[in-house]
Structure 1
Amino acid sequence: MNKGIGQEFLEKTKYQHLHVSDQEKGIKQPPLEQEYNRNQNVIDLPSPRGLEVENINLVEAIEKRNSLRKYSDKAITLEELSYLLWCTQGVKKVVSRPATLRNVPSAGARHAFETYLLINNVEGLKPGLYKFLAIDHKLIEVSLDNHIDESITSACLNQIMVKKSAITFIWAADVYRMKWRYQERAYRYLFLDAGHVCQNLYLAAEGIESGVCAIAAYDDDAINDILGLDGEEEFVIYIAALGKK
């Protein structure tokens, strides 16, 4: 049987096919987080530790977790958004390697994701596209275009929960942050890391009476274009809509 692209990917990302990495060559590692335009509007987020979350044990959260596609009209608070970002990409510590230690596992602590947010219904925030600055725990405005929700929904193959959500999380991979250490095998780790992040969102949402629907069906080129990503060195890897039950 002829090997398909998926099988070829698994074969060529095996350890025996790897060469000397840029880390092993002594090449300086990429930044822990992407630079941003300092002229963009920066929004302070409240401390995620100040939110009173429903006392729900881990087993209960796991058992209650399911994909929710229909949401109430109740807004997410800024404190709840801060908490969700902390649970999914929050930086606990920057260590001297240098590396960030976060609330999700990542291969080699590379943490190669940048988090974008389609904000539809969050108290204190204008609807639009934002980006999370994980190290400083802040947001920046990316686009407040009146039709950004429609554009992103269209790129998500018109799955209506994207437009009806309070927030849609869009995780983009900064590939070299992972490839610097792991070469072509990095792509495997990126997809594994995406699963860790999204599962944390599902579980964290249970504590604030919210639900999540993970989205893997989207037009890669369209969503990358909206976010200004080249689709090769940076690309959207996973999306998840969230709203109140």
Structure 2
Amino acid sequence: MLQSLRRYHEITSYQRDAMSGGYLEWSNQPTVYKRYPNAPRVPLPMELDFPSVGMQELMRDPFAFKISQTWDLKKLSGILRLTCAITARSSHPGGDFFYRSTPSAGALYPCEIYLAASGINGLPAALYHYNLEEHSLVKLRPLEPRGAADACSLTFFVSVIFFRSSWKYRERAYRYLLLDSGHVLENLLLALRATCTPHRTLLDFQDEKVNSFLGLESRQEVCLAMVEAGDLESGASPLTEALSESSYPFPKPEPPAPRETIYPAILEAHKAGCCPMRWGEGPVLRMLEELGLALGPSQLMEAAQPRLDEMGYVESLWRRRSKRAYLPRPMDKQSFCCLLESLNIHGTFSCRKSNQLLAIGLLVREVEGLDCGFYLLDTEKGAIYEAAKGDLSKGMASACLDQAWMAQASLQVLFLSNLEVLESRMGPRAYRHVMILSGRLGQRIYLASTALGLGACGVGAFYDREAASLLGLNEFSKLLYVLTSGPVRGRAPWVS
């Protein structure tokens, strides 16, 4: 039985000479939509007024929130569309493919969204599942309104269906499930910021109670994140008593595939992370100091100019694709500074908390004003430190399953963590935190790159030990996720 997420990460590492063979059973490919065929639906408005905020303004702090707001189906519909929109369609011999605003490993889209809603005009207080395919709400169970009669309370839940990813990636899929939930979570948080909606993120909760409240079979689907929104000070949360209620007869969903394979390593890894997170024990952790790297002097970064506003938030969201047809030309310095600024997150995860969990590496191949090399970014101080000289981009492309296109990118952004230090200081649940955070930051790189007219593409598959060796990391420090960015040719091939 796995009790350590560090151990899970180790046993799911790829090794160049030990990759197991296999094939994809296409007749058993999971559907990318969850369907409740016999449950009542509430259609959502399609004619929406989207916010006109720019990307850079949206990502910066502070951001003004309107404490008192009127909620109706139109506003809720807009937030859900901005969170996981279908942005385009392409036709293929096997059928139509629908592009989404969030990336997903293998375009498998394992995430689902639920919401417990109370106090929204035109919507009965209830727990709903968001049907992305039809852009509607599926009613799962009624809820008793809490707090003042006119108080609005919303709790969003981001879940993952294990087999959607494990169908292709087997035991390693839990990594991608966490990253993908981070992509979706960041979109939701940006949508709430764009609509000036007060909110708070919860990654620490009683897993068993929440999964039961949502009617999930925890061997198939689990909740990974919650976001409370609306009148946070009114005490109107519909969850306080509902989580303690007895089980409710839920409508039965269609299975995600004709046959589901259960991978014990995924279940054990998730169960190991169900213990409470330990924040604030011992000295403040700075993850960039735990990687075993000898860092050079710090170099303060220039303040980013308002370049991102050249493309607005909504347009950037709709245009986001994984683009990797990189051009052999440098990234300009202002674009580089804008990308680094996009990695400053606020709210529940402050820069300080982010730096405790995660170190951000930069493999610079061709950026105006910077020498080729490996750098570490300190988001709290707005500085970078040189960790190694020379161009490591080809070596990283080789470590990432020999994906040669990566070596053409101007910049590779690396998310790194010492998993032994992380787990010993904060407990096994910290693995969920750091992987979800990596997904959140990855989505920010995607959107900021799109706004700047650059390409971006995420990579979660690599020979783990080769990547760590290339970077000079110590034994327990690992690469978690890679994002490439740089100038691209016109309409580059779409990947995810």
Residues 90 and 137 of structure 1 are in contact (CA less than 8 Å); yes or no, is this contact kept in structure 2? no
Cα deviation for residue 36 of structure 1 reads 0.8
Cα deviation for residue 224 of structure 1 reads 0.8
- Sequence identity (%): 27
Cα-to-partner distance string for 1:13-33 (whole Å, 9 max, x where unaligned): 212376445x52444201121
Relative to structure 1, the CA distance from residue 20 to residue 137 in structure 2 (aligned partners, 3 Å threshold; closer, same or farther) is farther
- Any idea what SS the aligned residue of 1:210 has? coil
Matched residue, 1:90:
85
Say which structure, 1 or 2, has more relative contact order (CA 8 Å, 6+ apart): 1
Q: For 1:55 and 1:230, how far apart are their aligned partners in 2?
A: 40
Matched residue, 2:55:
58
Total equivalences in the alignment: 223
- Any idea what SS the aligned residue of 2:50 has? coil
Relative to structure 1, the CA distance from residue 64 to residue 124 in structure 2 (aligned partners, 3 Å threshold; closer, same or farther) is farther
Q: Give, as a single letter, the amino acid of the residue that structure 1 aligns with 2:14.
A: Y
Cα-to-partner distance string for 1:177-197 (whole Å, 9 max, x where unaligned): 111111111110111111111
Matched residue, 1:211:
198
Q: For 1:90 and 1:168, how far apart are their aligned partners in 2?
A: 19
Relative to structure 1, the CA distance from residue 144 to residue 110 in structure 2 (aligned partners, 3 Å threshold; closer, same or farther) is same
Matched residue, 1:43:
42
Q: Give, as a single letter, the amino acid of the residue that structure 1 aligns with 2:53.
A: I
Q: For 2:11 and 2:192, how far apart are their aligned partners in 1?
A: 37
Structure 1: which 5+ runs fail to align? 151-163
- Any idea what SS the aligned residue of 1:172 has? strand
Relative to structure 1, the CA distance from residue 25 to residue 78 in structure 2 (aligned partners, 3 Å threshold; closer, same or farther) is closer
Matched residue, 1:155:
none
- Any idea what SS the aligned residue of 1:228 has? coil
TM-align CA RMSD: 2.8
Matched residue, 1:120:
118
Matched residue, 1:24:
24
Structure 2: which 5+ runs fail to align? 233-496
Relative to structure 1, the CA distance from residue 19 to residue 81 in structure 2 (aligned partners, 3 Å threshold; closer, same or farther) is farther
- TM-score norm. by structure 1 comes to 0.80
Q: Give, as a single letter, the amino acid of the residue that structure 2 aligns with 1:44.
A: P
Q: For 2:71 and 2:19, how far apart are their aligned partners in 1?
A: 45
Relative to structure 1, the CA distance from residue 25 to residue 65 in structure 2 (aligned partners, 3 Å threshold; closer, same or farther) is farther
Q: For 1:125 and 1:165, how far apart are their aligned partners in 2?
A: 11
Matched residue, 2:76:
81
Q: For 1:134 and 1:13, how far apart are their aligned partners in 2?
A: 31
After superposing on structure 2, the runs of 4+ consecutive aligned residues of structure 1 that deviate more than 6 Å are none
Whose radius of gyration is greater, 1 or 2?
2
- TM-score norm. by structure 2 comes to 0.41
Relative to structure 1, the CA distance from residue 19 to residue 77 in structure 2 (aligned partners, 3 Å threshold; closer, same or farther) is farther
Q: For 2:67 and 2:19, how far apart are their aligned partners in 1?
A: 49
Cα-to-partner distance string for 1:159-213 (whole Å, 9 max, x where unaligned): xxxxx76321111111101111111111101111111111112212222221321
